[in-house]
Each structure stands twice: as structure tokens, then as C-alpha cells.
Structure 1
Amino acid sequence: MSATAAGSSAASSIAGVSSSSSAPEVRVVGGALRGTLESGVAVFRGVPFAAAPVGALRLAAPQPAGSWDGVRPAQAYGPPPPQSDVLGGGPSSQGVVGGDPAGGDWLTVNVFTPEPDPAARLPVLVWIHGGAYTIGASDRPEYDGGHLARDGQVVVVTFNYRVGMEGFAQIAGAPPNRGLLDQVAALEWVRENIAVFGGDPDLVTVFGESAGGGSVAALLAMPRAVGLFRRAIAQSVQGTYFSTELAADIAAACAGELGLRPTVADLAATDPDLLVVAGDSIAATLAERAGRWGRPAHRSVLFAPVVDGEVLASTPWQAVAAGAGRGVDLLVGHTRDEQRLFTAMAGQLGQVSAEQAAVALRDFAPGPDGARRYRDAYPDAGPAELYELVLSDWSFRMPTLHLAEAQIAGGGQVHLYELTWRAPGLGGALGACHGLDVPLVFGNLSSGQPAMLLGEVPSAQAVALSARMRAAWTTFAAQGDPGWPAYDPDRRRTQIFDASPEVAAYPEEKSRLIWLTHSFSILPLVGT
């Protein structure tokens, strides 16, 4: 807590803010909150931004959170939404059925602020976690916002949103894209409440990685999100957006595992853990369903935002190219070796065969001659490199680049980066893999998953690179300029984050040309 905050007793009492050496307090719309003071940062965890989506609100659009009497402790994260426990192998929903909200407070925010004083007017960074729209929660150690808030003098907000069946399944009688609607509700809570934490509601930057990056792209395209953020950072944008037909067919398969129909009438009274198990069962057989569901089945993507014509009227690339992002400062980028992490997780490092590479090129390279174009562009690449190139490009790299180019086409400005620094984890075998940017941006280099990527003791290079990236993100949040020139289609200037960062032409020129005329369109139901 700063001397300014501690000494502004009159202003604090007027705004409903108070503090002590160990328990800062604020008053939001719903009531008073008591947080904790951690290394100079006031932290408030597990604050509801919407009512628990259980009972009559199950599978519904988010509704306003209720109020409370007295001072509510805000010192523990809220429970994660229903999902698989990828570490333990079972559901971890802490879910409930019926009207009892205990354990169903999935929709909560966490705020990290170096200056809980309404006069501070600090930039605000709102994080959307990834997880293939199927897993993820804000309580992961790598998402702790303390370093970013303290070092960058920004307010950091993280939150949970519904994933999997609860958030993205196309269910008759339920609004589509409930996970995206949760994100809008969280941003509305930020607009209404962030000032008492020292944040500026007119200076909000939304940022996210992977499915979180795809969510940021979707928010740019959503009329309901207009005016809720001034800037956006999309990291490794996941490029999957489903048609209603594809999403409905997947939902029917998941519900069918339980002998149910994909309707609110059948599913709203079903234990959330059972929906998780049903989804996991279908995910385990996705390879068998590729003839019907196409590329998402090949990539084990069971859920994604649905282009439904209402919540999401078009793909982000279409909307942004038409000018949806013109008034939003945009920063986008990806890692060099996006696919490497998934190859390692599948136990395929050094094991990719020529046949596997050929199948990947057939299924994911753009156009009828895409496979040939990859082989011509990368004549010295072996099967493993070709396999990773085409999967990196389809999944994350080219969706991200095309979002940058759509922003320019729509009359906006964008800054582009690529992370090329080779992570030391697993002897450097992971390269600049998917997710490497997350610990570097948050500055959490030795807890949770980052230890696998960066080693038990982060190197001096990792510490220095993290400081550079945090400075770029927070400067962009404050000023709209991360410190390097804007991207343009002629010079294609890109910030390269490596041991020795530099600004250079976009490094993935060969892939850019292969995908130049490709349109990332709605993923359809391909078989009947």
C-alpha cells in the first residue's frame, strides 16, 4: 500500500476505500470487500461478477451478482467452472445441481492493484485464460497478477468463465456462446467497479492467450463488447470458430453419451460432472469422427465460439476487416514453435514419421496444392519440421497474423510480435513453444507450468526477457504503443522477442505467402 493511498483518508472514505497494513478494503456495487496485502500489492480474490449459474440460471446467460451485508472476505479464489482435471484425470467442477449455489460460484474475478485509491486512475489489464475453451481457471499460479501489477503500475484483473459444455455447447433453449457472454459480464463488472481499486475504467486493455487470444478476437467482433475496452492484446490466437450445425452435432453427441438430448430441459438438471465425463468420452474418440467434424476432430477441438448470427455474427477476421476494431488499439503475436508443446505432450518429439507429416499437410495446408507449397517452400525440412510448421500455422500463427492484417484492412492500427527465444526446459527441446509467453508476460517464472518450460531456477536471460515483455504490455496498456513501430503490409515490421530483441520483417515469410489468399472461415459440419 502506497503512502498516497494510506494518507488519503478523506478521499478514501468518500469512495468507500479503506486499508490497513494487512487487510485492504474496498466497496464495490455488491458490498464491502476485504482483501490481502502481498508484497506491496492489494489483492482481492473470488469476487462474484455474476450470479452463480446454477438452479434456474443453469445454462443461461450470466445474470447480475447479488449483494451482501457486512464485509465479504476476498482472500481465496472462487471454484473453477466444471471441467476435467487434466492432472488428476477426473472432473473438477465442484458443481451443483438444483438451486443450492454452494460450490457453483464459478463466475468470479480477482483484482491485483498497487494503488487501491480511486484517485490513482491506473491502466487496467484484464486477462482471459486459455485452455481450448474446455479447461482453465484463474487460480493457476502462472496467472497471479502481482508481479505485473507491481512492476508495471497497472491494475490486473483475472476471472473465470464457463468452458466446455457449460460455456460453449450449442444447446436448444440456451443462449449460444455463454462463455463469451461471461467474458462480457466480467468486463461490465470491471467498468462499474474498477475505479475503487485504483483503475481507470476508460483505460481497459483485454488480453489473452490461445483460447484466451481467440476470445479477445471474438470480443472485437461482438457488438455487446463495444466500449468495454480501449485496447486489446491477442496472444497466439486460436483460429477455431464453429458453425451452428457443427456445434449442435457435437453437443448432440455429448448429450447422447448420457442418453439425453442437447436441450436445457434434459441437461440443466444433470450433474455438471456428468457433462464433463460425457465430453471427455467424446474427446477420446474424436479421430473416429473426423469424417463428420473435419479439422477440429483431427486437432481434438471439441468446443469453440459459435458463429451464431446473434452473439457472434461473423468470424473475427471478417468483422475486424470491416472495421470492428478500428477504434481499438491492437497488439497481436505468437510464438515461433507453437506446435512443439503438443508434440511433446503426445510423446512424439523426434518420433514424427513421414506418413504423419504427409497426413498433417493433407489435412491442414491451405488449398489443393498446399502440401506441395510447403515442401517447395521448406525443401530442407524433414517430417517433424513440416508437421510442426503446418500445425503451428493452422492452429495459431496464421490466425494471429491474419488478425493483424484484418485490423489494417479495417482502418485500424496494430503492433505485431513473435517470441523466438528458446525455452531451456527439457534441454531446449520445446523451443519457443505454445504458452511460453504467458509466464514471461506475468513474470511468474518458477511456479506452476513455467518450471517445466524455464527450469527450476530461471536464467538471467529469462528474467531479462520477462522484464522486456512486461514493460511492453504495460506501456501498451497505458499509451497504446508497446515501443516498436506499427505493423504495415509493406515493411511488416515485427518485434522479435529473443535473447537479443530486435525489430525486423516478419520472420515467417514463407508461411505467410503460403497462406496469403486463405480465408479463415467458419468451420462447418462436413459429413452427415
Structure 2
Amino acid sequence: MDIAPDIRTAAGVVRGRWENQVAVFRGIPYAEPPFGARRFGAPVPVQRGDGIRDAVQFGPPVPQARHAGSVMSSASGRTDDGSDNCLSLNIWSPDLGAARLPVMVWIQGGTYLENNTANPHYDGATLAGSGVVVVSMNYRVGVEGFAHIAGAPDNRGILDQIAALRWVQDNIAAFGGDPGNVTVFGQSAGGAGIAALLVMPMAAGLFRRAISQSMPGTYFSERLAATISTTIAAELGARATVGELARLSPRALVDATDAVIRTMPEFVESWGPMALTPTPFSPVVDGVSLPDAPWRALARGAARDIDLLIGHTRDEYRLYTSRPDGEPPDALMTAAFDHLTPNSNGDYRVAYPDATPAELYEILNTDWLFRMPSLHLADAAHDGGGPVWLYELCWSFNREQGASHCLDFLLVFGTLGADEVRAHRSAHPNAAHELTPIAHHMRTEWVSFAATGKPGWAPYDPHTRTTRVYNAEPTTEPYPEERSRRIWCAHRFDTLDLAT
């Protein structure tokens, strides 16, 4: 398998290479560069090219902090280094014949602010070696992808995801995949994007199954999104319109966004609970591209023909509080309990009597931002008549972070190494030995779900709350976070709007 594989796509021939018995194609454009006249617009399908395109290097990342490409400083969109050609995808395939393998399309997270499939933790080789074709994509983030801008469509980053999924439908058979058996899977912002894709009419028919990992429960009204965009634009003396923002460079918009992020908690009385999150962006419920919040739409029967696997990690928010600067100040903890709890502050103190105030803050943020939105989405999908399965990752390899946000995708992709586990300063004694079996369990069950729609345990039901719990020895049991579930059982997740 030393001969470089050439594959003909609708936009021309691409040449990848074999790497350890997996054919890899990187940096394949699926849409035209979203700059110049196309800036802030819906993605435009890539035009057909002549000759053979080398597909061995990842494409450039979309505009974001720490991006060094010349597109960051260009308002015209014209660049000399190719950094404008950022809407690309990557493919790992174990069989380029007529195998019609299940296809797993990865949608990464990054707080709607970061997006780069070159991250080695997203390498699809191990997952593809389990018998699936793996696809990953770059999509627009930040102001370019998610700000509400007058004269532009909302949810441009998710429209990019849809464009990539259409490319998959048109081309993946040539890479050994089955376009009739596509599973989208994603984590964090990617998981929330998948929940949105489930109910977006433009995405209908583009995938058969969905896996949403650690989805944040924030979806904005147009009014809230417009207020945030106006605030970011005002940092640059501009209005949030296509005409005015298109005259500014992506770097200027990234810097203005960073300035607003630093002051977001000050807006909590008007912007509501989203001001206490790490990002000013989320999908916008605009009534057009995204008709409704996912919980309401799924409960009404949207996507009842899509198999759904959803879940979260046990200690989601510890990723943030375990950082060197992650200890929350008293004012922030007070604001969190004033604005995030569904009932009274006392519920958490009664439910978790041994927790310190900082630990209660972490549990509260874990619940309202990740765990409870995921659990309630499972309830909504069941109410709407769709097949749904639930999981929680409880295994961890170190005491500091526990089973934190992002750990699950490292296991599924198999990109967390035993040496990395051993080297951690607070590693559990047996973690390196447990790593391979737990990662194998998760990856095997993800692949089984993608191939057959059955991950290997009973579907979720609100009465039994059957949950796959990933510990060193995985079990199937009632939902483990019963104390939090009771606190949130009467809450209804919905579109976030301005508080005043």
C-alpha cells in the first residue's frame, strides 16, 4: 500500500497517502474561501479544479485567536499564503474499495471560538482502524461563524457543517463509505451543533445517526445574540452589519471578542446566565435555519427517525476550575447561584452537604451547562418517539481534573497515551493500565452504534433512566447523578433571551 491513492471527487482528483494501513486525505476543500464578497455569507460549494490536488497536509484553520495566517489581517479576503482557504475536511479510510463502511463525521468543539482539525487529539486513524470511515471538518467560529449580523444568515458555522455533510453525501462512496449510513458525532460546541442539526430542516437526510457528547445547553434568541454582537462591534466603533464588519479584519474581530469576554460577568443582569459562560456565542434560534430550541423540537417529534446517543462526563466543569487561575472569586460564585440555580440556593447545599462552596460552584456549572441539558435532551427525544441511548463517563486518570470536559473524545479517538497518563502529577496508580480497556470499550460501542444503531445496552427510558456508565469496568445502571436530576427535574431548557 505504498502507492499514493488518487480519488476522484465532484470537485476534482485528490491524492492522499497510506499511513499504517489507513488511507488519509487531509485539507480537502468542501466550500470556497468565506472571505471577500462571500464573507459572512452561507458557504458556497467548492468549484471543480483541474489536475490532481495533494491532500497530505491539513488545511489552514479558520480565523481565531493565535492564528498566524495573513487572512487574519486582511479585510479584502485576498491572501498570498492560502490561509483564506480554510473550509476543508479530512478523511481516514481503512478500505477504498466498494466496502460501503459506516461513516463517522466528527464535529469538534472549542467554545464557538476555536476550530482546528490539525489538533493531534482528533487524529482519526485509530477510530478508522475499527472499521469506519472518519471525516473531520473545519467550520467558522467566533464573529465569522456565530455572531448575529444584520444582512447575514445566522449560524454560519453550522451552515458550514451542513455544507461538509452534503460533500460527504456526494463523495464519500469513493472513499469506501456508505452515504446512507452516516453518523455525526461531536463534543461540547460540536455536540450542541449536532443537537441543532437534528432539528434544522436544511440538514434533513444528511445523516442517519447522531452522537452528542457534553453539549452545552445555550441557544440564543435573536435579541440576545444581536445585543452581544452590537457590544463586540462597538469595541471597534462599528455597527453589527455586514457592510461595517466586512471592512474590519478577522484579527480585529477576534481581539474585540476577547475584550468583551473579559467583561462578560458584568452583563449578567441584562444578558442573563450566558454571561457567566466562557463564550459570547451559541447557535441562534432564528426561526429560519434553526426553527426552535432542540428540547422543544425533539419533544414534538423532530428527528424521531434519527438514532441518538447522548451523554456527558461526570466532572465536566472541573476542566475550568482545575486551571491555575480557575479558583472562582466569591462574587462569581454568588452570581452563579443567583442566576443559574433552577430553584433556591439551598437545594444544592442540601443535596451536597459535604461540598465546599467552590465544589458546589463546580457542580452547579457542570449541571446547568452540560449534564442536565444532555439528560433533558434524552427525555425530549424519548417523548418525541425517537430512539435514544444515554451514557456518562466516570473514569478518570488524575485526581485534579477527574472525569472532566473533553476526556471522552480522547478515549474514543484513542489519542490519550499511557505515557501521558503516567506523567501527570496526580495520576491514579492504575490509570495507565486501565486506559486501553476503557478507551476500547467506548470506541467499540461508538462504532457499533454507527454501524447498527445499537451501542450494546438498553435504550433510555425516563422511568428506568438506563445509562451506560464508563468506569474501569463499564456498567449499565440507572442515571448516576440522581441528586442533581431531582434539583432540575421541573426545569425546562429553552432558548436564552435577554434578562431585561
* Same fold, TM-score > 0.5, yes or no: yes
What secondary structure is seen at the aligned counterpart in 2 of 1:337?
Answer: coil
Correspondence for 1:108: 88
Correspondence for 2:404: 433
Question: CA, structure 1 residues 321+284, in 2 after alignment: closer, same or farther (shift >3 Å)?
Answer: same
Correspondence for 2:369: 395
Correspondence for 1:11: none
- Aligned equivalents of 1:402 and 1:383: distance in 2? 26
Correspondence for 1:45: 26
What secondary structure is seen at the aligned counterpart in 2 of 1:347?
Answer: coil
For the pair 1:480 / 2:453, whether they are aligned, the reply is yes
- Aligned equivalents of 2:42 and 2:328: distance in 1? 44
Question: CA, structure 1 residues 256+355, in 2 after alignment: closer, same or farther (shift >3 Å)?
Answer: closer
* Native 8 Å contact 1:240 1:304 kept in 2: yes
Correspondence for 1:133: 112
Question: CA, structure 1 residues 64+338, in 2 after alignment: closer, same or farther (shift >3 Å)?
Answer: same
- Aligned equivalents of 2:419 and 2:49: distance in 1? 34
Question: Which of 165, 171, 178 pairs up with 1:200?
Answer: 178
Identity of aligned residues (%): 50
Give the Å deviation of 1:517. Answer: 1.4
What secondary structure is seen at the aligned counterpart in 2 of 1:380?
Answer: coil
How many residues align? The count is: 495
- Aligned equivalents of 1:93 and 1:308: distance in 2? 33
For the pair 1:218 / 2:189, whether they are aligned, the reply is no
Correspondence for 1:78: 59
* Native 8 Å contact 1:60 1:174 kept in 2: yes
Give the Å deviation of 1:356. Answer: 5.4
Give the Å deviation of 1:352. Answer: 5.5
1:219-258 → structure 2 map (5 Å cutoff): 219-258=197-236
Give the Å deviation of 1:301. Answer: 2.3
Question: CA, structure 1 residues 99+508, in 2 after alignment: closer, same or farther (shift >3 Å)?
Answer: closer
Question: Which of 377, 385, 400 pairs up with 1:411?
Answer: 385
What secondary structure is seen at the aligned counterpart in 2 of 1:289?
Answer: helix
What secondary structure is seen at the aligned counterpart in 1 of 2:406?
Answer: coil
Correspondence for 2:482: 509
Give the Å deviation of 1:353. Answer: 7.0
Give the Å deviation of 1:205. Answer: 0.1
Give the Å deviation of 1:94. Answer: 4.0
* Unmatched 5+ stretches in structure 1: 2-20
* Native 8 Å contact 2:191 2:211 kept in 1: yes
Give the Å deviation of 1:420. Answer: 0.3
- Aligned equivalents of 1:105 and 1:43: distance in 2? 20
1:328-343 → structure 2 map (5 Å cutoff): 328-343=306-321
One-letter amino acid of the counterpart of residue 101, structure 2? L
* Native 8 Å contact 1:108 1:160 kept in 2: yes
1:447-486 → structure 2 map (5 Å cutoff): 459-486=432-459
Question: CA, structure 1 residues 245+507, in 2 after alignment: closer, same or farther (shift >3 Å)?
Answer: same
* Native 8 Å contact 1:445 1:458 kept in 2: no
What secondary structure is seen at the aligned counterpart in 2 of 1:248?
Answer: helix
Give the Å deviation of 1:449. Answer: 9.4
Question: CA, structure 1 residues 93+171, in 2 after alignment: closer, same or farther (shift >3 Å)?
Answer: farther
One-letter amino acid of the counterpart of residue 469, structure 1? M
For the pair 1:264 / 2:242, whether they are aligned, the reply is yes
The C-alpha deviation readout for 1:456-485, integer Å capped at 9, x for no partner, is 997121111111111010010000011111
What secondary structure is seen at the aligned counterpart in 1 of 2:437?
Answer: helix
Correspondence for 2:396: 422
What secondary structure is seen at the aligned counterpart in 2 of 1:345?
Answer: coil
Question: Which of 285, 292, 295 pairs up with 2:263?
Answer: 285
TM-score by length of 2: 0.95
* Native 8 Å contact 1:318 1:406 kept in 2: yes
Question: CA, structure 1 residues 354+266, in 2 after alignment: closer, same or farther (shift >3 Å)?
Answer: closer
* Native 8 Å contact 1:26 1:32 kept in 2: yes
For the pair 1:155 / 2:136, whether they are aligned, the reply is no
Backbone CA RMSD of aligned residues: 2.1
Give the Å deviation of 1:391. Answer: 0.5
- Aligned equivalents of 1:420 and 1:384: distance in 2? 20
- Aligned equivalents of 1:185 and 1:352: distance in 2? 40
- Aligned equivalents of 2:155 and 2:256: distance in 1? 19
One-letter amino acid of the counterpart of residue 172, structure 1? A
Question: Which of 87, 102, 122 pairs up with 1:123?
Answer: 102
Give the Å deviation of 1:411. Answer: 0.4
Give the Å deviation of 1:109. Answer: 0.4
Question: Which of 353, 369, 379 pairs up with 1:379?
Answer: 353
Question: CA, structure 1 residues 494+280, in 2 after alignment: closer, same or farther (shift >3 Å)?
Answer: same
What secondary structure is seen at the aligned counterpart in 1 of 2:8?
Answer: strand
Give the Å deviation of 1:224. Answer: 0.6
Question: CA, structure 1 residues 522+437, in 2 after alignment: closer, same or farther (shift >3 Å)?
Answer: same
- Aligned equivalents of 2:194 and 2:141: distance in 1? 15
Correspondence for 1:171: 149
What secondary structure is seen at the aligned counterpart in 2 of 1:239?
Answer: coil
- Aligned equivalents of 1:383 and 1:99: distance in 2? 49
One-letter amino acid of the counterpart of residue 380, structure 2? A
Give the Å deviation of 1:347. Answer: 2.8
One-letter amino acid of the counterpart of residue 136, structure 1? N
* Native 8 Å contact 1:205 1:229 kept in 2: yes
